[in-house]
A and B are shown apart, each in its own frame.
Chain A
């Protein structure tokens, strides 16, 4: 009983009633919130550098761990998803979004047990980020070797 009716008229009506997303507002908000997360990261690096007398690269590792903790803890307490919904890409693009995707999946699937639930579903959203992150890191590493001689 499948009727394949590609109806131009229908598609035109759908297009006419397509709601307009507030792209400019969303972009500005993401820019401001994302910028604030960057500022927070830099402040944390400075803090760790001065407080514990460690190098900048070591301090940036601690900074990332701190941001991941904040995002994961906020997700577990149930308010971080509302912040993400509000700030959108401002919180999804930084490392906070990555942590949020893993924690939220872990919370949802822990009911199905540690193996079939949490273990196999925790990377449901983050898996793609890891895979293509690693692949593109390899690709750019090669490029860097070819162009700059690995320096």
Chain B
């Protein structure tokens, strides 16, 4: 389902990152960087809460908005029961909605926020998401100090917190339209190849967005998927071409490949992942370029693997979903 928004604008964003992201090619776009993964706390989970909390505080400071003026906070993350969002959102004392679409969470939140604003129910809505390499590793894979080798197709969960303020007040960047993804099952079972799991969802959402909005790939300056990684990106390009006859070779890229320098930062293997991975690219560098009008219209496609270790051990396929948002530079 695609939605067109009339009066939704992206006001400001704030980002806090960990050491790996701070060494990556986008370092100059991040508001706050840490060199230690504990972020001054004593556990990975608390560290993730701190990341998200700081990004929310920074957002309030940067946008100069009083927290009483915020009508709604919509947030989500990867931790069980989306606890990082709850603990980070609690001090704000605003109405709160927790959401989950795995690594597509940021855009699910944005779709909801834009809908609330567009139908004039709310004025100022904050969306926020986070992930932490170690807390994800501990929850989804092995203990963090366990050095089990991973296949080359594995991706690396990004560490960071991102918050974005949306409102109906005109700004330089407009949230122009969006497409709510469908849950897709392409018979994928490999938890170490999320790119292959999610590329099918990205293809479905991009195709539906273009047909429902009656647009072409060339109507966008840039199409960005969330965290497919090196190999997932190749899968998507080939699949779009063979299944839908859509050429993505010219103006398409993947946030997981942009966030890190995959040649130099070998530990990230196929690229970045996690809910914050796409947000750290979309709402820093891409937002900046839209504000400067270097990009006119961008299609963000956040991809999420709806992965649960329990279901994988019970031999079920890994499902995936992708949500899309189109951002436009305001003339």
Dominant SS among interface residues on chain A: helix
CB contacts (< 8 Å) of A146 on chain B: these are none
CB contacts (< 8 Å) of A17 on chain B: these are 196, 231, 234-235, 238
Nearest-Cβ distance from residue B196 to partner chain A, whole angstroms = 4
Nearest-Cβ distance from residue B267 to partner chain A, whole angstroms = 9
Task: Judge if A53 is at the interface, Cβ distance under 8 Å.
Answer: no
A143 to B169, CA, bound (A): 79
| B185–A14 touching, CB < 8 Å | no
| B239–A105 touching, CB < 8 Å | no
| B147–A100 touching, CB < 8 Å | yes
Nearest chain A residue, comparing its CB with the CB of B134: A108
Q: A2-B183, A2-B319, A6-B187 are in contact. Are A82 and B235 (CB under 8 A)?
A: no
| A19–B143 touching, CB < 8 Å | no
Which of A32-40, A42-50, A59-67, A73-81 contacts the other chain?
Answer: A73-81
Assign chain B's interface to a size class: 35 or more
| B238–A16 touching, CB < 8 Å | yes
| B146–A104 touching, CB < 8 Å | yes
Assign chain A's interface to a size class: 35 or more
Nearest-Cβ distance from residue A46 to partner chain B, whole angstroms = 29
Nearest-Cβ distance from residue A84 to partner chain B, whole angstroms = 3
A31 to B127, CA, bound (A): 51
Task: Judge if A131 is at the interface, Cβ distance under 8 Å.
Answer: no
Other-chain residue from B145, B185, B196, B234 in contact with A3 (beta carbon distance below 8 A): B185
Task: Judge if A70 is at the interface, Cβ distance under 8 Å.
Answer: no
A100 to B144, CA, bound (A): 11
Q: A3-B185, A6-B187, A111-B42 are in contact. Are A14 and B147 (CB under 8 A)?
A: no
Other-chain residue from B43, B231, B238, B242 in contact with A18 (beta carbon distance below 8 A): B231
**Contact string, B130-172, partner A, CB cutoff 8 A, digits 1/0?**
0000000010001111111101110000000000000000000
| B238–A125 touching, CB < 8 Å | no
CB contacts (< 8 Å) of B32 on chain A: these are none
* CB contacts between A and B, total, < 8 Å: 101
CB contacts (< 8 Å) of A81 on chain B: these are 145-147
A81 to B134, CA, bound (A): 14
Q: A9-B242, A10-B200, A13-B238 are in contact. Are A85 and B187 (CB under 8 A)?
A: no
A101 to B43, CA, bound (A): 19
Task: Judge if A83 is at the interface, Cβ distance under 8 Å.
Answer: yes
| A10–B239 touching, CB < 8 Å | yes
A113 to B152, CA, bound (A): 35
A80 to B184, CA, bound (A): 40
A78 to B147, CA, bound (A): 10
Other-chain residue from A6, A85, A111 in contact with B149 (beta carbon distance below 8 A): A85
CB contacts (< 8 Å) of A56 on chain B: these are none
Task: Judge if A147 is at the interface, Cβ distance under 8 Å.
Answer: no
Task: Judge if B7 is at the interface, Cβ distance under 8 Å.
Answer: no
Task: Judge if B186 is at the interface, Cβ distance under 8 Å.
Answer: yes
| B151–A5 touching, CB < 8 Å | no
Task: Judge if B331 is at the interface, Cβ distance under 8 Å.
Answer: no
Q: A3-B185, A10-B239, A11-B186 are in contact. Are A18 and B153 (CB under 8 A)?
A: yes
Task: Judge if B2 is at the interface, Cβ distance under 8 Å.
Answer: no
**Contact string, B223-253, partner A, CB cutoff 8 A, digits 1/0?**
0000000110011001100110000000000
Other-chain residue from B43, B231, B243 in contact with A111 (beta carbon distance below 8 A): B43
| A78–B196 touching, CB < 8 Å | no
Task: Judge if B83 is at the interface, Cβ distance under 8 Å.
Answer: no
Give 9 closest A-B pairs by Cβ, nearest first.
A81-B147, A84-B147, A104-B145, A104-B146, A108-B143, A19-B152, A104-B143, A85-B147, A111-B43
18 interchain pairs, CB-CB under 8 A:
A3-B182, A3-B185, A5-B186, A11-B187, A13-B235, A13-B238, A13-B239, A17-B235, A19-B230, A80-B147, A81-B146, A81-B147, A104-B142, A105-B143, A105-B146, A107-B143, A107-B144, A108-B144
